[in-house]
Structure 1
Amino acid sequence: MLQLLVVAVVLGAVAAVSIHQSTKEFRDIAGGRMLSVAESLASTPIVREQLAAPQVAQVLAPDVDRAVALSGATVAEIVSPNGRVMVSTDPTRVRGDADLGDSDVLGGRGWSGDVDIDGRRSIAGHVPILDTDGRVLAVVTVSENYPSTWMLLSDAGARLLIYLGIGAGVGAVGSWLLSRRIRRHTLGMETAEIAGLADHREALLHSIAEGVIAVGNDGRITMINDSARALLHLEPDVVGTPVAESGMDAGVREILLSPGDVEDVIVTTSTRVLALNRRSATSRRAESRGQHIGSVTTMRDSTELASMQSQLTSHKSVTDTLRAQTHEFANQLHTISGLAQLGAYDDVTTFVGTLTRRRAEISESITAHIGDPAVAALLIAKTSLAAETGVRLTLDPSSRLRALDPALSTDVITVVGNLVDNALDVSRDHGSRSITVLVRDDSTSDVPDLCVEVVDSGPGVPPEKRELIFSRGVTSKADTPGGRGIGLALVRLVSAQHGGTATIDDAESGGARFRVRMPLG
């Protein structure tokens, strides 16, 4: 209906322009003709001779009627200088007042223009009749009524009416076809239904606690809800921005632009641990059903869950250490029991002394450099666990660490524990099967910081993966679903929360060197 209304307005505008043009053309042509007829009548000798005749209306009536008959005018009159009608083709107007309008004919010049005769708009020509002295004796007026609107349209030509009819028909058919096409593209929904659907879609998306972000085939963000913007720290006007230029973390960008579907991938940003799921999106419209139109990625904040998992991992590590120590103690007790049964009491004393010295050496080698009890205990436990798995864990002699605030100590334990666990996983079957740990605080510089370095004997990390290995936690443990963990992701998260950094480079021994720096101020 709106389209038909537009067509009607256009056709009305065309008709109005046509009427205006026809009116202007009529004014120009008829005005010139009326002026010519008036000049011809004013120059007729009998008209000049009989102006003063007593029965001038009857004497000059035939000449005035002849002028009307020959020109097609509506009214022809002779008017006195004081505006009184002397002769007229309409007898009822004789001796009446004539309306000369804006005419300046009394100034002795001919004139043509619009006048009002008996309430009808007319085009008139006025010509003065002058005596030998140039004085105006009378005025000859010849006028023709303006045609009606229908006559103006008819005068514009039958083809105009045909064109208007064809235009109306084409507009109606075009509106019908356009309506069908629009309804097909909108799945048969009307505008109010589309608006309601859009409102419900926006309300639904922005009320979901999980983040939702859609990316088109061109790599641009097409939709993002409030939760996703908050999780990724993006601006409100990010829609339409290419993912590569959005400013989000590299790990998230990789998932959003990956070619296939992704399920429960752990990605860490500078402040959060996120679980991402990505699915390809296809069109559901009839004409493009099944066509790939982009992807939709959902994300949920797993920071607290990751922290709990890290704590559980730490407890599991302690349990494994205790289990290893129990196994080691059981072997040692069996040895002592056997020596006692053999009566080799001196050997028992020597064996126990050796074990005591070895334990004391391990503890002293760590506590001499590490003043924080929790970190020292962790390194002692990890040393025993490493020995059980056949890996030698050594504390760098340059290590030094004072007692830390309990909250900071907990974060340092998380960093050291995850780095050592990662090093154990990659070193147990590679190279010299050794790990070197450096923990050092520097409180003498202008910006005191804490440095943690763990060097393994594993295969190392390729340069192209060094950035992503912290964004997407990787583990070699077989019992981790999908082979993906969050240990290294937590290392980066903890360091970033303290304003620090986590980096990887090649170690001189051929493995990888993980270095974490955190400001202490």
Structure 2
Amino acid sequence: MRRLVPRSLAGQAFVLQFVAIVVLVVAAGSLAAWDARRDEQRSARDEVVAVAVSLADAPSTAQAITSGAATARLQPLTEQVRAETGMAFITVMAPDRTRFTHTNPTLIGKPFVGTIAPALDGRVFTETYTGTLGPSIRAVAPVRDSGGRIVGLVSAGITLSTLADRWVEQLPLIGLVVLVLLVVSVAGTWAVRRRLLRQTHGLAPDDLRVMYDHHDAVLHAVREGLVVVEKGEPVLLNDEARRLLQVGDGADVPADLPSFVTERREIRDEVHVVGDRVLVVNRVRVLHRDGERSAVVTLRDRTELQGALGELDSMRVFAESLRAAAHESANRLHTVIGLIEIGRAEEAVRFATTELELSQHLVDRLTAAVAEPALVALLLGKAAQADERGVALTVTEDSRLDDAEQAPLSGHEMVTVAGNLIDNAIDACDRDDPWVEVTVREEQGGLMIRVADSGPGMDADEFARARTRGYSTKPVADGSPAGGRGLGLALISQIVDRHGGTITAEVTYGSVVTVVVPSRSDRPTRSGREAVRA
């Protein structure tokens, strides 16, 4: 038996499908034949009832019976009707069963064989009965005179042998249809077998199961995020990839994954920000005979390392800022207490609330002008941070964003762009004249973010290097560039490029970096952007 059962999955599937098709087709053919026979019997009952009722309701039939010349007048008529309708017999009889007509003239005058009681009660009925001509389906109808009295009966019938001949005539057609269905089904199953054989490389079900078990174990055990992409669409994520991309558990693969998953290009150690995580991304294409169809994307979490580097870099600055803020707060508190002690309470209140009024004015102006709450919070926070570090940060009066939902950047993307630009400006401004100026404004449906500072700025080559992932102009202890720490301009460039925008740097009244992102309707297509780059 093992030799008769194919080893490959495709062969086993073919055998199972073939058996199922044969069973189904044969069952369907048998059902069709049985249904044809049942239809013939139903049609025969309708025919005999129609003939019997037609003759019984004819006024000439009742007149012939009551006149005493029933046989002479009705025998030719019933034989003519029988020949035209294909009936086996048509018998007109008296209520006492005496035949007036019959297909066999020698039986005229003899009693009718069969049931007549329902007809004598005035009802038309059918039955299957074995009479002088053999088993037949017959109908019996009462004949009434003008006064409604039953004066006779009419019986019409078709023999079962005649019905069997009609049914047998349909069997060749049913058999031909069954044969065609069987051939077409087997041919389709064979085509499916060949395709399945190519796709499974002739592997047996046990082989495929072992491969799947190993594949599933590797996906769950590996500590890197892994995404499998097929024809430009993600089809598989392991547990770590779901965690890093902030995708919930479940069998479904979401369609709104970051763009680096579906981009058709090689990626080597690129740094991307997804939510609150910094990821190092690699993407390797898998080539097939008919071209690239799939790819594997790996993700490594760099969030904790990046956070540690950022905290280490800013720890000293924050410590100094807090120390200065604490000293300044103590001086203000002593001044307020002193004014109260000398009886100048109003001046104490005015002195204590001056800074609060200035801060509230900035909050009110930004809340009214900028419709994105996250961006407002960022600007307020950066203003406080800059003040702690002794930098004058201003938001220009022409800053305005009326509709955040129609903006080309999301709130998170605006925070990323503006926050990194402001951080770079605060770090780079001239310490003898530290100032930073921020402008966020809608322009022709797009968005412009400009950050200027009092620093020396960067030339074109240095700015191009700063936009490279991992490059930083901030020095480390030995004075060399802090390679691998800089992500600000790189992350900004990633967002700007993705939305078809531009980022420029110039030195005019200060070092000015401008990001312009067009509206969604004005963005160039992918091919258009590639043509511009070329």
TM-score after normalising by structure 2: 0.48
Structure number, greater radius of gyration: 1
